[in-house]
């Protein structure tokens, strides 16, 4: 891979959104950003996720809210919004797949990425930084990333990177990275297994890696013993697997961005929608899908969020068609009596009801030009694929266009 940094021989990324449920719940409640917060289902429920300020009081996931309040009397309990969690997770997954199609989803907030085919876009470390910036820019969430030669080492590395960091473990440093850690740091070693290993005198990963296999087999069984030593030695060779199957498309895909400052300037918002439409349709074309329904999202400065949708006569992946629809929806929304003069802080565009492009037969229209916006998009795709994302862009997006909030 180009760049020559220490990550070049590390094809696996483990990306984990920091305190996912709490972070999503707090995105629209900035007054609680520094407060100890848990996401939980009621006063006698169980903690689904704790914010980092709450964790400093010893509050943890799976703890009862009653116990959590004893540890932290000032605790704020926020009810879960599973629809919001699902939407945020889908958008984060889209960001992952904008880097590589080889994504193995572990949960709503974490996934493994195999970036061996993405080398033309940068080294694994550069891709990790790009992903973190993209997720922060589009979703207001932070990620921690482990970059390593294997899945299990990448998983451990992402934990060590928390919160909001990157840890790279090159192949020649795997042993030095793993050996000093407590055995409980290994992926798949729970509290009970950790206690059993400690009773055997095996406290560090190095102890486990050096232990006689016969000893482990006698206490843990042959399969578990071999698996644990494989993990302790960083020799896990399991491949990253996209479990969707090769022909199953995502149901929707989108892009949104928070502006550098709240604005009422329609021209600024149109430029941002053009940027987002180009990003969205480029992702759709790479994935071989088209969308029939387009949805606009607008978040005002008071954090009120509105969406408007339109179903098209035919599915599309054409930038100009998406952009025109998005701006029509935006203009209609901004022209409402209650919307005039309200500052906008975020805009987004989403394509829904996706189908494979190969399954759609384009209806020819009399007088339609032989070469149009679709061909122009594909020419841009070829140029950016060869020379990078900045090689070709609309004139209105050249330097001088508004920046978004820094990641």
CATH topology of domain 252-397: Dna Ligase; domain 1 (3.30.1490)
pLDDT given at position 167? 96
Q: Which of 110, 138, 272, 321 is catalytic?
A: 110
- Is 110 designated active site? yes
3-state helix, strand, coil in the chain (%, to 5): 45, 25, 35
Q: Identify the CATH number of the domain defined by range 179-232.
A: 1.10.150.20
Average pLDDT over residues 234-250: 70
Q: Name, of 16-20, 220-224, 278-282, 300-304, the range with top average pLDDT.
A: 16-20
In this predicted model, which residue has the larger pLDDT, 256 or 152? 152
Average pLDDT over residues 42-68: 88
Q: What's the CATH number of domain 21-81, 3.90.79.10, 1.10.10.60, 3.40.50.300, 3.40.1170.60?
A: 3.40.1170.60
Q: Is the pLDDT of residue 288 over 60?
A: yes
**Mean model confidence pLDDT for the chain:** 84
pLDDT given at position 258? 83
Give ranges for CATH 3.30.1490.100 in the chain.
252-397
Does 335 appear as a known binding residue?
no
pLDDT in tens, 249-277: 557 788 888 888 899 999 999 999 999 99
pLDDT given at position 205? 95
374 confidence band (pLDDT: 50, 70, 90):
low
**Run of H or E residues at 313:** strand 305-316
Q: Are the CB atoms for 301 and 362 separated by under 8 Å?
A: no
**Run of H or E residues at 260:** strand 252-263
Q: Is the pLDDT of residue 401 over 60?
A: no
Contacts 24+ apart (CB under 8 A), 246-251: 247/356, 249/287, 249/288, 249/289, 249/354, 249/355, 249/356, 250/90, 250/93, 250/94, 250/97, 250/287, 250/289, 250/354, 251/352, 251/353, 251/354
Alpha helices in 172-212, H assignment, sequence order: 174-178, 191-199, 205-210
Q: Is the pLDDT of residue 371 over 80?
A: no
Q: Are the CB atoms for 22 and 39 separated by under 8 Å?
A: yes
pLDDT given at position 37? 95
Q: Is the pLDDT of residue 377 over 50?
A: yes
Can you read off the two tokens belonging to residue 398? 């050249």
Give ranges for CATH 3.40.1170.60 in the chain.
21-81
Q: Three-state DSSP class for 80?
A: coil
Give ranges for CATH 1.10.150.20 in the chain.
179-232
CA angle at residue 167 from 161 to 171, to 5 degrees? 140
């Amino acid at each position: 891979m180009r760049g020559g940094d220490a990550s070049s021989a590390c094809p696996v990324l483990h990306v984990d959104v920091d305190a996912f449920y709490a972070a999503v719940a707090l995105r629209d409640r900035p007054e609680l950003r520094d407060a100890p917060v848990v996401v939980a289902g009621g006063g006698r429920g169980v903690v689904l996720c704790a914010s980092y300020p709450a964790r400093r009081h010893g509050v943890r996931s799976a703890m009862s809210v009653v116990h959590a309040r004893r540890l932290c009397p000032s605790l704020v309990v926020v009810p879960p919004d599973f629809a919001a969690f699902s939407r945020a997770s889908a958008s984060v997954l889209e960001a992952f797949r904008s880097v590589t199609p080889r994504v193995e989803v572990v949960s709503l907030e974490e996934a493994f990425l195999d970036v061996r085919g993405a080398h033309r876009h940068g080294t694994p470390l550069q891709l990790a930084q790009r992903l973190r910036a993209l997720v922060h820019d589009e979703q207001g969430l932070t990620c921690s990333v482990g970059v390593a030669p294997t899945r299990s080492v990448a998983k451990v590395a992402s934990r060590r990177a928390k919160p909001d960091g990157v840890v790279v473990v090159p192949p020649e440093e795997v042993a030095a990275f793993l050996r000093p850690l407590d055995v409980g740091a290994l992926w798949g070693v729970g509290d009970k297994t950790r206690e059993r290993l400690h009773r055997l005198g095996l406290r560090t990963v190095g102890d486990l890696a050096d232990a006689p296999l016969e000893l482990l087999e006698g206490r843990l069984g042959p399969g578990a013993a071999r698996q644990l030593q494989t993990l302790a030695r960083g020799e896990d060779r399991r491949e990253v697997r996209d479990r969707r199957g090769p022909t199953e498309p995502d149901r929707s895909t989108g892009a949104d961005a928070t502006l550098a400052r709240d604005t009422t300037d329609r021209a600024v918002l149109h430029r941002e929608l053009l940027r987002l439409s180009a990003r969205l349709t480029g992702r759709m074309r790479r994935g071989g899908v088209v969308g029939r329904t387009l949805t606009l999202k607008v978040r005002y400065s008071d954090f009120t969020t509105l969406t408007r949708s339109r179903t098209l006569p035919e599915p599309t992946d054409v930038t100009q068609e998406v952009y025109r629809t998005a701006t029509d929806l935006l203009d209609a929304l901004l022209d409402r009596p209650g919307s005039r003069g309200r500052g906008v802080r975020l805009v987004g565009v989403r394509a829904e009801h996706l189908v494979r492009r190969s399954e759609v037969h384009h209806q020819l229209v009399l007088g339609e030009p032989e070469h149009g916006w679709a061909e122009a998009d594909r020419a841009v795709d070829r140029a950016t694929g060869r020379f990078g994302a900045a090689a070709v862009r609309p004139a209105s997006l050249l330097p001088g266009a508004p920046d978004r909030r820094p990641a």
